[in-house]
Structure 1
Amino acid sequence: MDTLEIIKTIEKYTGSHIKFGVIDIDGVLRGKMISKKKFLKSVDKDIGFCNVIFGWDVNDQVYDDSKVTGWHTGFPDSSAAIDLSTYRTIPWNDNIPLFLADFHQSDDLSVVCPRSLLKRIGDRCRNAGYIPKFASEYEWFNFRETPQSLKQKGMVDPEPLTPGMFGYSLLRSSQYHDFMSGIAGQLESFGVPVEGIHTETGDGVYEACIEYSDLIEAADRSMLFKSGVKEIAFQHDIVASFMAKWSDDLPGCGGHVHQSLWNSDESDNLFFSSGPGNDLPPILEHYIAGQLHCLPDILPMYAPTVNSYKRFVSGSWASTSVSWGRSNRTTALRVIPGGEESARLETRVPGADANPYLSMAASLASGLYGIENKLTLDIFETQGNEYQNPKSQSLPANLKDAASRMKLSELAKELFGDAFVEHFVYTREWEWEQFSKRVTDWELKRYFEII
C-alpha cells in the first residue's frame, strides 16, 4: 500500500488506538499505544518518544556517564518518525495496527539509533550501485513457564517444552502443533513470512528461516519475528528465549545473517557464479575478505552480551575463528553456492541475542569495505573441520576484550562513525561492569564451603 492508502486504512479502522515501536541499542522493541487521532496528526510530522531508551540498559538501569542522554539532559522527548511502510496488523492482538519508527537525521539520537544506522549503510550500498537483499534465521529455546514462574524460580532451572536432543523431529513438532503452526501462520499474516521451521538439537529448541527481502525490511522482520514469537508463545503458556546460550550442556542459539548483492535493476545476483569450477565471483571474494578483515574489530555488533561469548565453543555449531568455507557450518562465513536466486553468503557469527539492525549493518558495512578497497581473500578456505584448524585466528574471548578492541579501532569508526562507536562501546563496557560485580551461582557452589 502507498502512503495515502495506509492513512485511509487507519482512518477506517474501528479501533481507538494503534501501536508503534522503536528499537533500542540492545535490540529490544520499545513502544506504546497511542490514539488513532494522535497517530493521524503525526503522519506528516514527528512524534515524541522519551530518549531514556538510549540512556539505560536492557534492565532499565540508567547509565552513569552516557553522553547521548542521561540525568544531565533531563531525559527529554526526542523526535521519532513513524515509517508508514512498516504497517501491519497483529493477528494475535485483535489485528491492532502496528508501525515501527526511528530517529532520523534531524534528531541527536539518529547517530546511535540502530535502524537509522542501517539505513545509512544501505544508502551507501545503493550509492555504490548495489541492491542488498538480506534475511535472518533464528534458533531459540521454549519453556513450560510464565514470566511469574520464572521469577519465582530466580530464572534458574526452567522446564524445557520437550525433553531430549531431537533435531528435525516431526514427532516433537506435531506434539505442539498449535504453537508451531501459530508461529508460521500468524507471523505470515503479520508480514513476517517464515520460509521453514523445525526442531533443532536441544531440549525444546526450534529454528526458523525468514524469507529474504530488502535490507531494512529484513531487519524489521527479524525484530518483529523475535517479538512475535514471544507473544505467541505466551498465549500457549510458553516462554520463548533468544538468549545466546542458556545451558552449559546444550548448543547455543544462532541469529545468522544471509545476504547477497544484486545489480541496480535487481536482475542479477552478483554473488552467483555461472562459470565452471569453484571460482568465486570477484565481488563476493572482496565482500568476504572485507567481513573477515573487519570481524575482530566489530565483534560486539554480532555478540553484544556477556552470554554471547559462551556460545563460541568448539563443536557447538557456532563459529570460533576468522574463517570461511563453502557449505561449511564450522566456519564464521559460509558460502552457499545455490542458484541465480539463492546464491548467498551466510554470516554465522551473530547469536540470536544480537540486535538484527546492528548485525546486518556490520555485515554489509564490512563487506562493502572489502569491495571498496578491493581486498584479496588471503585466508585460505576451510576444508573440513575448522574447529581443528591450528592456524586459525581466534575471535576475542569475551565481551570485555571485544569491546576494548572495538573502542581502539579506527576501522570501526570509519565504518559507523565516531559517535556511534563511542556510545555503543560504552554500553558494552557497562554490560561487562554489571556482570563483573555480581556473585554468580558458579562462585557460590565452588567457593562457599570449600575454599
Structure 2
Amino acid sequence: MDEQQIITWLKEKNIDKIKFAFADIDGVLRGKVIHHKKFADGLQKGYGFCDVVFGWDSSDVCNNNIELTGWHTGYPDQICRIDLSTFRTIPWQDNIPFFLADFSKADGNDLPACPRSLLKRITKDCESLGFYPEFAQEFEWFNFRETPQSLQEKSFTNLETLTPGMFGYSLLRTSENSDFYYDLFNLLMQFGIPLEGLHTETGPGVYEAAILHDHVIEAADRAVLLKTAIKEIAYRHGIMATFMAKWNENLPGCGGHVHQSLWNKDKTENLFYKADDANKMSDLHKHYLAGQLYCLPHILPMYAPTINSYKRLVEGAWAPTTITWAVENRTTAFRVINTSPAYTRLETRIPGSDTNPYLAMAAALASGLYGVKNKLSLDIPATAGNGYHDTKNGVIPSNLLDAANMMKDSKIARELFGEGFVNHFVTTRLWECKQFAKSVTDWELKRYFEII
C-alpha cells in the first residue's frame, strides 16, 4: 500500500496507534508506539530520535569514544524515516500496525552509523551493475524454560533448557512443545516472515529456522524481525530464546549463515549457474566468491561482531576457522550449493546468530561485488575433505580485538563501506573489547579464587 492507502486503512479500521522500529549497530531493534496523527504527520519529514541509540552499546552504556554523538554533541535528535513498504501487523499483539525505519535521509546523505542505510547503498550499487541480489539468512537459537527474572536470580547459571539431550531434526522433541513450535511457524508467516523450514538442531532445546529467500533488503528486514519476533512469541509460552553465538562451551554454537545469488534484472535467470562448468559455477559466481575470500580478513567483525562470536569459531563445532571454500562442504567458510539452476547459491558460513543481518548481508554483498568489479580469479582451490586442516590460505582471527584492529587499518573496508561507517563501527567493536577486558569472569574466579 502507498501512503494514502495506509492512512485510509488506518481510518477505516479505527486504529489509533502504530509501532515502528529500526536496528541499531548491534542489530537490536529500537522503537516506540506512536499516535496515528504523529505517524501521518511524520511520513514526509520523519521522526526525531535521540541519537544516543548510536552512541551506546547493547547494554545502554554510553560509548565515550564515539565521534558521531556523545556528551560533546549534547545527544541531539536524528531524523528517522519509516519505510512504508515494510508495513505488516503483529498477530500476537492485537495486530497493531508495524513498520521498519532507518536513517536514510531525503537528500540521500545517510547517517553513516545506520545499518539498513548501509545495506541500501550497497544494494543500489549492485542493481546499477544490472544484478538482482537474492538473499536469505538462517538462524539457530537455544530455548530455555526461564524468564528475565529467573535469569537474574540464577545469575545466568544452571539454566533449564526447553528439552534435554541432543536431538537434531527430531519430530519427537518438537511434538513435546507443539503449541510453541507451530506458533513460531504460523505467527511468523502471518507477520510476513515465511519460513522455508523449522526444526530442532543438535543440542538441548535448540531450533533452527531458515527464512524463504527474497530481495536482499527484504531478506535482511525479515532476518532482523525474526529474532525479536521469536523472543516475543517465546515469552507467551514461558520460554526464553537466545541468539548468542555460543552460550555453553560444551555445546555447538548457533549459526546465522547467509545464502546469496545474483540474478538478471527481471529475475528469470540465476547468474551464478553454468551447466557446463565442473562445479556448475558461472564466471560471475567465481569472481563473487573470490571477492568474499579476499575481503574476509578485512571485514570479519561484520560477520562476528561480539566477544562471544569467536567462541563459536572453533574446530569441530560446525563453524569455520579457515579461509576456505568447497562444494557442499560444511567445514569450510564458504559453501557452494549447486543442486539445480534455481537453487545454485553461495552460503557464507562465518556469521553466527548474533549478527546484525543488515551488516552481515552488506558485508557479503559488498565483498562479492568487489570480486566482480575487479574480476578476481578464483585461485584458491576448493578444499577436499576437512576444511579445519586446510590452512594454506590463512585462518580466521580468533578474537574480536584482532579482527577489529585489522578492519580499522584496512583500505579495503573503507573502500567497501566508507570512512564514516568504518570509523564508527570499529570504534564500537573496540569499545566492546574494552568492556570485556575490565570484567572479572566466572572462569577467573573458579581458577584463581582459592589457589592463588
Q: By how many angstroms is 1:70 displaced?
A: 0.6
What is the match of residue 27 of structure 2?
A: 27
Indicate the residue corresponding to 1:45 in structure 2.
Answer: 45
Verify the 8 A CA contact 2:55 2:69 in the aligned structure 1: yes
Q: 2:444 corresponds to which residue?
A: 443
Write the mapping of 1:204-215 to structure 2, written as runs, cut at 5 A: 204-215=205-216
- Counting only pairs closer than 5 Å after superposition, residues 265-280 of structure 1 correspond to structure 2 as 265-275=266-276, 277-280=278-281
Task: Please give the per-residue CA displacement for 1:104-152, whole angstroms capped at 9, x wherever unaligned.
Answer: 1458762110000000000000001101011010000000000010011
| Whole-angstrom distance in 2 between the partners of 1:336 and 1:85 | 31
1:267, distance to aligned residue in structure 2 (A): 1.1
Q: Partners in 1 of 2:28 and 2:76 — Cα distance?
A: 20
- 2:370 is paired with a residue whose SS is helix
Shift in Å, 1:10: 2.1
Cα separation, partners in 2 of 1:423 and 1:341, compared to 1, 3 Å: same
Report % sequence identity.
Answer: 59
**Is this contact kept in 1: 2:322–2:390, CA < 8 A?**
no
User: What is the identity, as a one-letter code, of the residue corresponding to 1:174?
Assistant: S
Q: Which residue of 2 aligns with 1:296?
A: 297
Alignment of 1:313 onto 2:314: yes
Please tell me whether the aligned partners of residues 78 and 107 of structure 1 are also in contact (alpha carbons under 8 angstroms): no
Residue 271 of structure 1: how far off its partner (Å):
1.0
Amino acid at match of 1:171: L
In the TM superposition, what whole-angstrom CA distance separates every residue of 1:367-388 from its partner, at most 9, and x where no partner exists?
0000000001111101111113
Q: Which residue of 1 aligns with 2:392?
A: 391
1:362 is matched with: 363
User: What's the CA shift for 1:5?
Assistant: 2.3
Cα gap change, 1:272/1:3 in structure 2, threshold over 3 Å: closer, same or farther? farther
TM-score normalised according to structure 1 size: 0.98
| Corresponding residue for residue 96 of structure 2 | 96
Mapped partners of 1:55, 1:277: distance in 2: 49
Determine the C-alpha separation between the residues in 2 that align with 1:179 and 1:241: 15
TM-score under structure 2 length normalisation = 0.98
Answering whether residue 174 of structure 2 is matched by residue 200 of structure 1, we say: no
- What is the CA-CA distance between 1:279 and the residue it aligns to? 4.9
For residues 356 and 291 of structure 2, what CA distance do their matches in structure 1 show? 21
Q: CA deviation at 1:345?
A: 0.6
1:424 aligns with 2:431: no
Does residue 173 in structure 1 map to residue 174 in structure 2? yes
Distance 1:244 1:152 in 2: 23
Give the whole-Å Cα distance in 2 for the aligned partners of 1:102 and 1:387: 39
1:180-199 CA-to-partner distances (Å, cap 9, x unmatched) read 10010000000000110000
After superposition, the C-alpha distances for 1:325-363 in whole angstroms (9 at most, x for unaligned) are 101111111101032221111100000001000000000
> 1:79 is aligned with what amino acid?
I
Matches within 5 A, 1:179-258: 179-258=180-259
On the 8 A contact 1:118/1:360 being kept in 2, the answer is yes
Question: Per the alignment, do residues 277 and 378 of structure 1 end up closer, same or farther by CA in structure 2, a change over 3 Å counting?
Answer: closer
Higher mean Cα deviation, 122-131 or 98-107?
98-107
Gaps of 5+ in 2: none
Query: RMSD of aligned C-alpha atoms?
Result: 1.2
Query: For the structure 1 residues 345 and 276, does the alpha-carbon distance in structure 2 shift closer, same or farther, using more than 3 Å as the test?
Result: closer
- 2:263 corresponding residue in structure 1: 262
Partner Cα distance (1:277, 1:376) in 2: 16
Q: Distance in 2 between matches of 1:2 and 1:273?
A: 39
